[in-house]
């Protein structure tokens, strides 16, 4: 039997929002693994805001996806066949599988995951890159102290939910900014945030003043744009802003909106620091163990928004930018 592999390959550099025509949907035979290679069947793929940046040309923290290349994506899969000493058929693994049904890989950056610790999609969210991003961005750069006020935007997303919950574990007052009543209720009622601000219906500045009477000590920014600018007006002395992303700007065709209130950094002796999760790769196991402990004790809750069908990829990805997803957005490709 020759296995067939369906793939989304990048066909064009998107202008503004991603469209189906920016990809070619291709079918090709599965490549059998050579020596020291492993064949993985994709089960779940991670859809992340950062993917939009990878489609652009030009220097960034990793090279862009080349035209014609399979679209880059992290995923969880099952080893079908292995000629690699570290992996056996039947192993569950996390790696950069790409938007395709099968990946033939050299094992670099591939790691085993244990479905008895957490359901497989959790390895794409809280125990995956978003969780690592939250953990290191908040603790290493935000450095929240007990009693401080932590604000996070994109609060109901894969990174934001973890940021807020870890900040609560560390004894902070936590305020989330998210879109819609349902998400805001989830933050305060299920995740234990002290307050949630609905940017779609609340006056964000007024609400920040109300919920952060002593100012914002740590702001974990996933969205950029107007919300970053508003939070800048509410900083406490020596505030730390973690620049994790700017989803509001990724599809902009008119250039990025810079934070015009950045001089608040001077007035408040505050800092704004960028972070890229890959820098912490050698500490992922440490963070993973601690977060698995919090999952087990119930201090950390996860939520995944799982959409089925590889072929829905371009449209499903757009849910991230419309704010439609609720929890970590995962594309289910196959059953285990």
**Sites of contact with a second copy (CB under 8 A):** 59-61, 224, 229, 243-246, 249, 255-276, 279
From the centroid of its chain, how far is CA 214? 29
Rounded to whole angstroms, how far apart are CA atoms 31 and 1? 13
Q: What angle do CA 246, 249, 252 make, to 5 degrees?
A: 160
Rounded to whole angstroms, how far apart are CA atoms 113 and 318? 28
Phi, psi of 287 (to 5 degrees): -65, -40
Least distance CB 279 / a second copy (angstroms): 6
Nearer to a second copy, 255 or 298 (CB): 255
Nearer to a second copy, 274 or 309 (CB): 274
Rounded to whole angstroms, how far apart are CA atoms 188 and 195? 6
Least distance CB 13 / a second copy (angstroms): 18
Nearer to a second copy, 59 or 108 (CB): 59
Among candidate residues 144, 130, 154, the one with its CA nearest the CA of residue 277: 130
Least distance CB 168 / a second copy (angstroms): 25
Nearer to a second copy, 1 or 266 (CB): 266
Strands (DSSP E) found in the chain? 4-10, 23-29, 38-46, 75-82, 92-95, 102-105, 111-112, 149-153, 173-178, 195-198, 216-221, 235-243, 271-274, 304-308, 328-332
Nearer to a second copy, 190 or 271 (CB): 271
Three-state SS for 178? strand
Nearer to a second copy, 169 or 236 (CB): 236
Nearer to a second copy, 58 or 146 (CB): 58
Least distance CB 244 / a second copy (angstroms): 7
Least distance CB 215 / a second copy (angstroms): 11
Rounded to whole angstroms, how far apart are CA atoms 295 and 118? 8
Least distance CB 41 / a second copy (angstroms): 33
**Residue given tokens 């508003």 in the structure block:** 230
CB 271 within 8 Å of CB 247:
no
Least distance CB 141 / a second copy (angstroms): 9
């Amino acid at each position: 039997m020759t296995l067939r592999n369906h793939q989304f390959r990048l066909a064009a550099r998107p202008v503004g929002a991603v469209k189906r025509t920016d990809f070619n949907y291709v079918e090709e035979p599965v490549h059998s693994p050579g020596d020291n290679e492993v064949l993985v069947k994709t089960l779940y793929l991670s859809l992340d805001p950062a993917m939009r940046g990878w489609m652009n040309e030009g220097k960034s923290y990793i090279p862009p996806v080349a035209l014609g290349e399979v679209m880059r994506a992290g995923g969880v899969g099952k080893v079908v066949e292995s000629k690699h000493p570290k992996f056996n058929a039947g192993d569950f693994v996390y790696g950069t599988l790409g938007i395709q049904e099968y990946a033939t890989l050299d094992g670099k950056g591939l790691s085993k995951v244990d479905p008895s610790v957490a359901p497989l999609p959790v390895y794409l969210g809280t125990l995956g890159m978003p969780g690592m991003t939250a953990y290191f961005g908040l603790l290493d750069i935000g450095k929240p102290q007990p009693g401080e006020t932590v604000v996070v935007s994109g609060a109901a997303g894969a990174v934001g939910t973890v940021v807020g919950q870890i900040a609560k574990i560390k004894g902070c007052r936590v305020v989330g900014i998210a879109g819609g009543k349902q998400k805001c209720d989830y933050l305060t009622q299920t995740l234990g945030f002290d307050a949630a601000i609905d940017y779609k219906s609340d006056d964000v500045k007024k609400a920040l003043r109300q919920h952060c009477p002593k100012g914002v000590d740590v702001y974990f920014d996933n969205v950029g744009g107007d919300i970053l600018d508003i939070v800048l007006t509410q900083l406490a002395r020596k505030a730390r802003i973690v620049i994790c992303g700017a989803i509001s700007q990724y599809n902009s065709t008119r250039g990025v909106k810079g934070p015009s209130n950045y001089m608040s950094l001077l007035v408040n002796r505050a800092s704004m620091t960028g972070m890229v999760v890959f820098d912490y790769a050698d500490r992922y196991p440490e963070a993973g163990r601690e977060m698995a402990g919090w999952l087990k004790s119930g201090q950390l809750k996860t939520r995944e928004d799982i959409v089925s069908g590889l072929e829905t990829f371009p449209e499903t990805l757009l849910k991230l930018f419309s704010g439609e997803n609720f929890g970590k957005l995962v594309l289910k490709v196959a059953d285990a």
